[in-house]
Amino acid sequence: MSTSTLLVAHSIPPPTLTRLAREWLAEDTPNFDPAGVCVGSEEVEARLLCKTPHTILAGSPFFTAVFTEVGCTVDWIYQEGAEIGADDVTLTAVVRGPARCLLLGERPALNCLARASGIASRCSQLREIAKTSGWHGEVAGTRKTTPGFRLVEKYAMLVGGVSMHRQDLSAMVMLKDNHVWASGSITEAVKAARLVCGFSSKIEVECCSVEEGREAAAAGADVVMLDNFQPQELHIAACALKNEFPTLLIEASGGVTPENIALYFSSHVDIISLGCITQGCPIADFSLKVQNSSANSTSSQVEVSSSPSPLHTVCLEAIRKSFSMAKPNSSQFLPWQQPKLDAA
């Protein structure tokens, strides 16, 4: 488990978890849930299975928030940040609640867990490489995240034990090549940025040569990113800049992968950032299996009466009619908020 994992989970405000869970559920089920008629509201139990050995579990707060929103409970067997065992299939948690509600939350919850755990597992791998090599610096992510899903992916980086880097454009100033070209020079770009951000934000400048790095440092940049340098070139440039500007932070980025990151380690390099932490990162394979409600039932995972009740017949007919008409107003109750029907 990475350090302070429990505190990492506490960094997400509960209202944020609730808001995200509602957005994901509404995206997946904006109106009717026809399949909910098939299973009804019988209380069921589902087992969360991890099918990727040695996965670092990440995203459990989001998973739990989704199921809480639909009236289900989650009992975790593994804690956030733990490494799930070497078995091909490992029982990770148990979810309980009304069948139709549990199935409403299934896909949004699994999406969060699979993505976050995949990222955390890659981050843990990178952190272990750095630790084994004795490197003193920080492995970091980037802003190359999935639109609308950044909070989950940045959180997963923390669980995996690496730095998030800046969370967004407001968190730190990074002047890239386009900023410099539009401003006229590195010096002018740094000067203009400092007038706005003041003392409370660091300024980082993307540089393609030692000369650009010197100009950025002399202009007052706090961090110089040496972009797309080959490892040997990086070490020479970083050493030269550190000798001239001892307090300058040096970041290496561009072309770094889990396979070659060790080549970039240097006592003069403080940060190594990798876009592959989020882009092209494999997910962890999780599935949710509803258990048979009867030991004698083998035809389905949820026992359903072979003769539909009158209420089910009425609901099915109503759904058929609704889908032959215009799309219903999206301001209606969401499926998990529908008032209960009285069978009498």
> Three-class SS of residue 325?
coil
Residues 203 and 175: beta-carbon distance below 8 Å: yes
Q: What is the DSSP string of 227-245?
A: ET--HHHHHHHHHHHHHH-
Please identify which of the residues 51, 131, 144, 327 carries the catalytic annotation: 144
> Three-class SS of residue 119?
helix
122-148 burial: b if 16+ Cβ within 10 Å, else e: bbbbbbebbeeeebebbbbbbbebeee
Cβ contacts of 247 within 8 Å, gap of 6 or more: none
The question of whether 144 is a catalytic residue gets the answer yes
Structure tokens at 284: 């962890």
Sign of CA dihedral 294, 296, 301, 306: negative
DSSP character at residue 342: P
Active site residues: 144
